[in-house]
Amino acid sequence: MSAESVATHVGELTLRRLRAGELEGAEAARAKAHTEDCGHCRARLRALDEEQRSFEQTISFERFQAGVTRATRQPSPAATTPKARWLYPVMAMAAMVALVVLGEPMADLLGGPERPITRLKGGAGIDVRIASGNDGPQRSATADAPEPLGPGERVRIGYQAGEHSYVLALSIDQNGVVTPLYPESGQSLPVQSTASERMEYLPDSLEFTGAGAETVLVVLSDTPLDVAEVRAAAERAFEEAGRDVTRVRTLDVGPHAEVFHRTVLKP
């Protein structure tokens, strides 16, 4: 393998999107061509496959689906010293939340959530699914109140785009630290072609670490938005909310975008 090819390995998020079937056109062709020629990136793809198999062995789709009818809220103690970290399970990179790839079974959850999914303009809305790593229930977070998380519970973000064409997700912790979730940089990404009429799920599940409140914000827009600018808008919104993350409900990102929120309480 040439030094040039080694220096241009497929990025982590691009590799995950390739595996989830979200890449299109020239971007998909480039990524596929590279992975066909690059043993290192093929090994990374196999690691993602193994990561998904391990996750599905821990939390079966059947248990996710069955848990909808017996969802409960588990209170967790208030925390005073939140810590933020981000971990890639396979690549072991440090930061703020743990990402675990899930495939189509989670994206195609059946039976419907026990709580209503936010749907506004043109059918746009989000669903934040929560599932535990044992026999615990599956549930959807509500926009009405912060949702307590139990230890080891994971979150999957779904969106229905309605009339919008682009999606971006980020989170704010109770210290005001903003973390872009999807994508991590650049511009918001095109929605899936089927997302105008049905709920689609982002390719990663999140395990929030640390303690205290964290608000997830999903921005659906008609045109691509710059991640850095949306991040700055989130930082401003946190200050305008009196540095109370549970009061951050929307962002000033222009007239052609909708912002949806969910707040979780980390144990």
Q: Which pTM was predicted?
A: 0.60
Domain ranges of the chain: 3-58, 62-266
Residue predicted with more confidence, 65 or 138: 138
136 contacts: CB under 8 Å, gap ≥ 6: 67, 74, 150, 153
- 30 versus 64: the higher-pLDDT residue is 30
Contact of 145 with 170, CB cutoff 8 Å: no
**What's the pLDDT at 24?**
78
Distances in whole angstroms, Cα of residue 43 to Cα of each of 6, 20, 21, 39, 48: 14, 16, 18, 6, 9
**Average pLDDT in the 154-172 region?**
95
Q: What's the pLDDT score for residue 136?
A: 60
CA 16 to each of CA 10, 59, 87, 103, 266: distance values in angstroms, whole numbers, following the listed order: 10, 20, 15, 10, 26
